Amino acid sequence: MFSADLGVTPSAGTLYADDVFSTFLYTGSGAALTINNGIDLAGKGGMVWFKRRSGTATFHNVFDTNRDFYPIYPNSSDAQGVVGPVITYNANGFSVTSVAFLNESGQSFCSWTFRKAPKFFDVVTYTGDGAGTSRLLNHNLGVTPGLYFIKSTSTTGDWLVGAPGLGTNPWANLNSTFNWGNNANFWLASSATTFGPGNTGGSNILNVNGQTYVAYLFADDPSTTGLIRCGSFTTDASGNASVTSLGWEPQFLMVKASSTNGDWIMLDNLRGWNMTSADALLRANLSNAETTSTEYGNPTATGFDFKGGSASATYVYMAIRRPNKPPTTGTEVLRLRVHSASSGGAVSQPNSDAAVNNVDAVLVGYRDTDAKNFLISDLLRGYSSNVSPYLVTSSTAAEASATAVVRQSTNLNGTPAYVGLATEVPARVSYAFKRAPGFFDIVCYTGTGATGNVVSHNLSVKPELIIFKNRSVGSNWGVCCNFTASNFQRLFLEQTGRSMSFSYNAVFEFSSEPTALSMALGSSSVVNNNTNSFVAYVFTSLPGISKIGTYTGNGTTQTINCGFAAGARFVLIKRTDAAGDWFIFDSARGIVAANDPHLSMNSTAAEVTDNDSVDPVSSGFAVNQDAATNINVSSAGYLYLAIA
């Protein structure tokens, strides 16, 4: 049962991370470019932070709706720039002109968009009055700011950074590596409605009479529905730390050492902050191009792990929640594509599929005979334009990596980034999945080999189908489903065998029933081998969008009612009482009244096209008994996953 109380139904007036923040990657075209990232800057206001990732060093450029089209530079003490109108704020993002520092042809760029919103972000511009410690300014966060950046826009001067959570009057410079200082004159006490620029002991650099300033204020919202956290952590003797207090998985992290010198590190999951050994790094205080040589940790289901820092040092951070808006249609969370050589070039996401932007996992099926057949790659395990970690569903093999198997594309002319095949190859089909509450989640974790290893997820409801794979060593694909109060069923994805029923027990896959927040694992090596790295793909039913269920065959034809309005676009079926393949059907290749092409996730066999096993039905799909698939044998039991 799903309800707004479980957090899986969009609620009027509720803000989600998708509404207020976006990381958008693009390749410069040298011509006017429109970025549709879903953020209403024209109506709500906000800020866009740009950085060129490739080529020679270039400044960071920040624009905000309070100051119109004047850039300001986080890595510099310069006053704001004076340029012609180079940016336009739209109801669905922004547009930039052909100016080289935002749109040089062939160069890779990153943009981070922050929308003004209570408990998230605000922009305040003001003119200094020289009043010193007596001045308070209003803001609209509704909570005390967790972090703020202030810069004089009319003259040269350092960026001043405040972090109330660090203690009494801490300060730093955004444009330098210096460790944080403490000055009672810099800040007045901030509140849920005001903050004070203070008086710096005579120099008064935050409130000089007649000078103009901009302040960027970031909230710290510790609630379970919060979208941003600002805080601090301390590393161990190896320079590592684990922050678990967020309660959700972040998509963006900005971090700076406060007890020692260090760069302002900027990480996000689209450029490459994931489970791999190298992360894509930009530094707010430097104009350097992006580097990918060091691992700085990874996001987790409840926070993040940080690596590679200074030993026993304190760090300040800002983290932003990954997209968490519940979907309203199946096309928002699943994109189908049949690939052909005639399409040419790298896979790009057409505007008609803009809802499936920045997808989280791609399942690729080889329609001809191939040792890989189905392979899966995902954003959390990491992919880039060069090397992609992948797993093969018909094999027990550990995770492998290959050049240009599945990649992240950065597209021209504002079309959204799409993750898919690196180049168009004939005889392939791909399924691009987007994580969403109440539908699908991905969790990466490390096994302990002991019962009671509790692994958190962000599905928001109890899982109905979980697919596990050991990434470190060869191991079965564990598929667990039909969770009751006392037991569950298990199958292996790479095998045709029947399902087995197990009670919750320390020696099996689960020691207790999964919940809306976590799953307590048993000691089974399939899901919890000590020190090994695992990935879990977690699904559940979302009314009108996805359905996980079972049916009993009748030997002829029957309709499987999924509660859909326009039929299923994707169907996975497995016989559970006896041997049977893991069959995949989809509307891109054809769920029709005639023959339906299908592939098997457990096999390297080529696509089968000469039988009619499924038919289209508006409420879901129909199954026909055909000896080629045996997906409707009389009295037989079946498991299915269908997506509208």
Tell me: pLDDT of 189 over 90: no
Is there a contact between 643 and 587 (Cβ–Cβ < 8 Å)?
no
Q: What is the pLDDT of residue 409?
A: 47
| Helix, strand, or coil (residue 351) | helix
How far, in Å, are 194, 497, 563, 599, 621 from residue 642 at the CA level?
Answer: 51, 21, 10, 15, 9
| Whole-number pLDDT of residue 364 | 87
Q: Is 183 exposed, middle or buried (0-12, 13-18, 19+ CB in 10 A)?
A: middle
The pLDDT of 302-322, averaged and rounded, is 96
Q: What is the pLDDT of residue 407?
A: 54
CA distance 502 to 478: 13
Q: What is the pLDDT of residue 261?
A: 95
Could you tell me which residues are beta bridge partners of residue 442?
Answer: 537
User: Which two structure tokens, joined as six digits, stand for 128?
Assistant: 């200094």
What pLDDT is attached to residue 339? Answer: 73
Determine the pLDDT at residue 5. Answer: 34
Instruction: Give the model's pLDDT for residue 476.
Output: 98
CA 560 to centroid of chain Cα atoms: 32
Q: Highest-confidence range of 272-286, 289-303, 406-420, 484-498, by mean pLDDT?
A: 484-498
Other Cβ atoms within 10 Å of 483 Cβ, number: 20
Looking at the predicted structure, is the pLDDT value of residue 49 above 80?
Answer: yes
Per cent of the chain over pLDDT 70 is: 88
* Residue appearing with tokens 């090596």: 525
Say whether pLDDT at 642 is over 50: yes
Q: Decide which of 344 and 487 is more confident.
A: 487
Q: pTM for this one?
A: 0.93
Average pLDDT, the chain: 89
Distance CA 169, CA 325 (A): 36
pLDDT-derived band at 75, boundaries 50, 70, 90:
very high
pLDDT of residue 208: 86
Residue 253: per-residue pLDDT: 98
Question: What local confidence, expressed as pLDDT, does residue 78 receive?
Answer: 96
All structural domains of the chain with their residue ranges:
16-117, 121-219, 330-433, 440-539, 546-643
Per-residue pLDDT averaged across 7-20, rounded? 81
- Taking the C-alpha atoms of residue 132 and residue 137, their distance in angstroms, rounded to an integer, is 12
CA distance 573 to 593: 18
Q: Contact 571/598 with Cβ under 8 angstroms?
A: no
pLDDT of residue 199: 55
- Write down the pLDDT at residue 110: 94
pLDDT for 151 beyond 80: yes
pLDDT at 327 over 50: yes
Average pLDDT over residues 239-267: 96
**Residue 110 tokens, joined:** 């990153």
d(CA 391, CA 442): 14
> Among the listed ranges 136-140, 244-248, 339-343, 627-631, which one has the minimum average pLDDT value?
339-343
Is 131's pLDDT higher than 70? yes
Categorize the per-residue pLDDT at 526 as very low, low, confident or very high, splitting at 50, 70 and 90.
very high
Paired with 489 in beta bridges are: 481, 501
Q: DSSP string covering 273-318, please?
A: -SSSS-EEEEETT--PPPEEEE--EEEETTEEEE-S--TT-EEEEE
Burial 302-321 (b: 16+ CB within 10 A, else e): bbbbbbebeeebbbbbbbbb
Which pLDDT value is given to residue 358?
A: 67
The average pLDDT across 228-256 equals 97
Query: For the purposes of burial, counting CB atoms within 10 Å of the CB of 543, is it exposed (0-12), middle (13-18) or buried (19 or more)?
Result: middle
583 by Cβ neighbours in 10 Å (0-12 / 13-18 / 19+) ranks as buried
pLDDT digits (tens, 9 = 90+) for 350-406: 323 333 456 788 898 888 877 778 989 888 998 655 677 899 999 999 999 876 555
Which residues 6+ apart lie within 8 Å of 159 measured at CB?
Answer: 74, 77, 149, 150, 151, 173, 174, 175
Token pair of 573 as six digits: 């079926």
Asked if residue 344 has pLDDT above 90, the reply is no
Q: Which two tokens stand for residue 367?
A: 């329609």
Q: Please report how many Cα atoms fall inside a 13 Å half-sphere around the Cα of residue 156, on the Cβ side.
A: 2
Residue 138 neighbours by CB distance under 10 Å: 10
The arithmetic mean of pLDDT across residues 561-583, rounded, is 98
CA 483 to chain centroid, in Å, comes to 27
379 torsion bin: left (phi>0), alpha (psi -120 to 50), beta (else): alpha
Q: What is the mean pLDDT of residues 146-172?
A: 87
Tell me, what's the pLDDT at 132?
A: 62
Q: What is the pLDDT of residue 196?
A: 81
- Give the pLDDT confidence of 87-115 residue by residue, as tens digits: 999 999 999 999 999 999 999 999 999 99
Lowest-confidence pick of 35-44, 164-173, 405-414:
405-414
Is the pLDDT at 345 greater than 90? The verdict is no
- Burial code of 242-258, b = ≥16 C-beta within 10 A, e = fewer? bbeebbbbbbbbbbbbb
- pLDDT confidence of 343, banded at 50, 70, 90? very low
Mean pLDDT within 68-83 = 95
Q: CA-CA distances (angstroms) from residue 640 to 368, 459, 575, 586, 643?
A: 24, 19, 9, 13, 10
Distances, alpha carbon 343 to alpha carbons 8, 427, 430, 541, in Å: 37, 12, 14, 34
